[in-house]
Structure formats: structure tokens, C-alpha cells
Amino acid sequence: MIRVVLADDHDLVRLGITAVLSEQPDISVCGVAATGEDAVAQAQEQSPDVVLLDLTMPGAGGLAAAAEIVAADHAVRALILTGHTDPELIRAAFAAGATGYVFKDADVGQLVEAVRAVHRGEVWLSPEAAGALAGELRDRTRRSTRRGHGLRRRAPREQLPRP
């Protein structure tokens, strides 16, 4: 059984996600929280496998909570559930110790698969988050190349010889 602590500052979101996850035969919501501080306390008390965290909550947000929870128990997996699509926040979530990032507009199947994947120790990115990161990388590469700092095209004589 995958034990989940859910942290989100909106009652309706907590109730809906709890209902969806509780329908799964292999997932149990063992705690809920409305703030980052409460999420940390629930994680310490409940010893979950996965903590599902909103980024933006009153007090300490999901990033601070993820960092504290994962530092206290490396076996706990932090999965971010948010509406924030900014690539900087996605990177910050992983830097804080998250192993997954899913958007709140994900369908039920994506959310359930994300919980299962991070529980297995896999990194899980929603397709939209992966697209945001890839787009940012592409843009940075283009800017860097325009400034002369990126890879340049090789002239035919500079290409590697064929074996």
C-alpha cells in the first residue's frame, strides 16, 4: 500500500484528490495538510511513502516543505502538484528534493501514475512540465549560440571520420 500525505491550501482540492486516490486499491491517503508546516508535521507523524505538495500555500510553501521532509527521511518521495508552469519553479522543486512534478489540470490517470512512479523511485514529469523545461533549454541554447558561446556547426573537414 502506498501511503500518501496530501498538502494543499484549498479544501476542495484536498477533498477531491483524497477521494480520487482513495479509490485506488494500492493507495491510501494517511494525512492531509493545508500549510507547508502542517505537511512537515504530518510527514513526521504518519511516515508516508509519498508527500503530494502544492507549491503555493500559506506559511512555508511546498518547496520548503519538500526540502525539510526529504532531508528528514530520504525514503519519502516528494511529488509536487501545482498550477505553476514556470521552468524555474520546476527546477527549484527538483533542487529541493522532489522526484515528481504534475500539474493540477492533469487527468486522474496522470496523477495516479505520478504517485506510483515516484513511489517506485522514478522521476516523474508531466508532459507539460517536460515541455516547459525543454522549451527553456532550447531558448537558452539559441541565445547562447547567437552570442557565440554555443556549439558551432562543423565544416565538413572537421567532422569525425567514418569508421
CA torsion 128-135-68-31 (nearest 10°) is 0
pLDDT tens per residue, range 7-26: 999 999 999 999 999 999 99
Q: Domains in the chain and their CATH numbers?
A: 2-149 (3.40.50.2300)
The predicted pLDDT at position 153 comes to 53
Low-confidence ranges of the chain (pLDDT < 50): none
Say how many residues make up the chain: 163
DSSP string, 29-47: EEEEESSHHHHHHHHHHH-
| Closest to 26 in 3D by CA, of 116, 114, 99 | 116
- Measure CA 67 to chain center: 12
pTM for the model:
0.84
Per the listing, cell 487527468 goes with 107
